[in-house]
Amino acid sequence: MVLATRSDREPSLPRTLWGSTIGKKAVMAVSGLIMLGYLVAHVAGNLKVFFGPEEFNGYAHWLRTIGAPVLHDEWMLWIVRVVLLASIVAHAVSAYQLSRRDIKARPVKYAHKRARASYATRTMRWGGVIIGLFVVWHLLDLTTLTVNPNAQPGRPYENVVATFSTWYGNVIYIVAMLAVGLHVRHGFWSAAQTLGAGNAARDRLLKTLANGLALALTAGFIAVPVAVMTGLVS
Amino acid sequence: MRLTLRVWRQRDAGAPGAMTTYEVDGISADMSFLEMLDTLNERLILDGEDPVAFDHDCREGICGACSLVINGDAHGPERTTTCQLHMRSFADGDTIDIEPWRAAAFPVVKDLVVDRSSFDRIIQSGGYISVPTGSAPEAHATPVPKADADHAFENAECIGCGACVAACPNGSAMLFTAAKVNHLNVLPQGAPERESRVLDMVATMDAEGFGGCTLAGECATACPKGIPLPSIAAMNKEWLRATRKGRRS
């Protein structure tokens, strides 16, 4: 008689992560936190617009030379871009797959309708799509300058002012930044829970941090179009 | 009290169902919700109609058999089980919507009865400890810190009713699985299977077709036993730890 023995090897760590709802959510949490970290640096950089064109354009130029002379011109920029692109893809693909699963998990809806979750939580999916579309426009506007009304390479200050001198530029930007705020409000706290950092004692701290980050990011980003509209930045 | 009930009627798992309206009269505010349904059923039987099928057992709020989504809330407006919900929570003339738990992993058997054996399979995959049975061990042989004991008891209160799944916008069983995992994983008795327990129970939960967690928090609000939402974060922590360490049993 042969005893049954376990010969099945354990699946690899990436396979275990990607094959589980908790693992996929952890991928979403980590990629989301990477993008959140980038946004914090981004909003800080944006606010340099208040110190005038010279300083803002100088800062934009410095971004291309970070790491020099070890790194070649724009290498750091490309490293950041690759990391962000990987984060967006990981975040979006896991969000799509998990959402499909969530919808399939309740094939018959309740007849008695009511909102099941807070506004920020309910808008995570469509908010994410809005932010994704905004990023495409934002890159075409201020990175490739394809749709920028000014489109002067190396003059980001003038390009930013040109964009926020149009009504549609302001509308697209402000709507997207409100979506970012809502997304971060639920996303940051949710990521902390997913990565196991949440507990009863820390809950208030994490919620405050999430709300604070959301508010600071939204206010910081929206400050620029508001400044252009009011003529503070021109 | 006179009430209008809109009840989900479905002959069997394969048949299409629909919300059916019934009027009930002579309901006392002291009746439990299930006694109110008993009153309806007695009348339906006398009229030669098929009574409304619903799950119930102890009617003391401890067995987890009763279910029912009442006006969109799992177990109704009070934070308790349906059997412990009383008609004083409603007003004369109210219209009450009564539906079964809705989840792909909880298929409807008949009317308001759903098949919750997916929960049993989650338990079977790791909700136990492997010890020889026999006489009870000496109670002081395994000391447990007070904080751990409290944490284990808090999670052990889960009666497996499935309200968390019914309330979740994604039909997720994370709160149930978290309660069961944490209950055993914080205790020394559960330590030998700490990694395999969380890995296997989560794998079974996923395989049963429950949705994922989006931290909406509806589960913990609906839970009649007050299993707290941070239990999910605690299970996530256990799961991530187990994927790093690998299974030991």
Per residue in A17-51, pLDDT (tens digit) is 999 999 999 999 999 999 999 999 999 999 999 99
Q: What DSSP line would sit under A126-190, residue for residue?
A: HHHHHHHHHHHHHHHHHTS-TT-SS--TT-HHHHHHHHTTSHHHHHHHHHHHHHHHHHHHHHHHH
Supply the ipTM of this predicted assembly.
0.92
Residue A69: CB atoms within 10 Å: 7
Q: Where in chain B is the domain with CATH 1.10.1060.10?
A: 116-245
**Multiple choice CATH, B116-245, 3.30.1050.10, 1.10.1060.10, 3.40.50.620, 3.60.20.10:** 1.10.1060.10
Query: pLDDT tens digits for A53-84?
Result: 999 999 999 999 999 899 999 999 999 999 99
Q: Which of B99, B172, B229 sits opposite A112 (nearest CB)?
A: B99
pLDDT at position A9 = 67
Percent of chain A with pLDDT over 70: 96
- Is the pLDDT confidence value at A6 over 80? no
Mean pLDDT of A172-179: 97
Sorted by where each begins, the domain ranges of chain A are 23-103+117-229
Q: Which residue has the tokens 């003391």?
A: B60
CATH architecture of A23-103+117-229: Up-down Bundle (1.20)
For chain A positions 4-43, those within 8 Å of chain B (CB to CB) are 10, 13, 16-17, 19-26
pLDDT at position B246 = 85
pLDDT at position B173 = 98
- Is the pLDDT confidence value at A5 over 60? no
Site from A13, A27, A106 to mutate, B interface, most B CB atoms within 10 angstroms: A106
Cα separation of B171 and A108, whole Å?
A: 11
Cα separation of A227 and A225, whole Å?
A: 5
Contact residues on chain B for A109, CB-CB shorter than 8 A: 102
pLDDT at position B249 = 62
Q: Is any Cβ of chain B less than 8 angstroms from the Cβ of A205?
A: no
Site from B111, B239, B249 to mutate, A interface, most A CB atoms within 10 angstroms: B239
- Is the pLDDT confidence value at A3 over 60? no
Give chain B's residues under pLDDT 50: none
**Multiple choice CATH, B3-110, 3.10.20.30, 3.40.605.10, 3.40.50.300, 3.20.20.10:** 3.10.20.30
pLDDT at position A169 = 97
Do B207 and B131 form a contact (C-beta atoms < 8 A)?
A: no
User: What is the nearest CA distance from A181 to chain B, expressed in angstroms?
Assistant: 17
- The more confidently predicted of residues B47 and A234 is B47
- Is the pLDDT confidence value at A222 over 70? yes
pLDDT at position B134 = 83
Specify the 3-state DSSP secondary structure of A61.
helix
Which residue intervals of chain B are DSSP H helices? 33-46, 117-124, 146-156, 163-167, 174-185, 194-207, 218-222, 230-245
Q: Where in chain B is the domain with CATH 3.10.20.30?
A: 3-110
User: What is the nearest CA distance from A109 to chain B, expressed in angstroms?
Assistant: 7
Q: Is any Cβ of chain A less than 8 angstroms from the Cβ of B234?
A: yes
Percent of chain A with pLDDT over 90: 87
pLDDT at position B55 = 97
Residue B55: CB atoms within 10 Å: 23
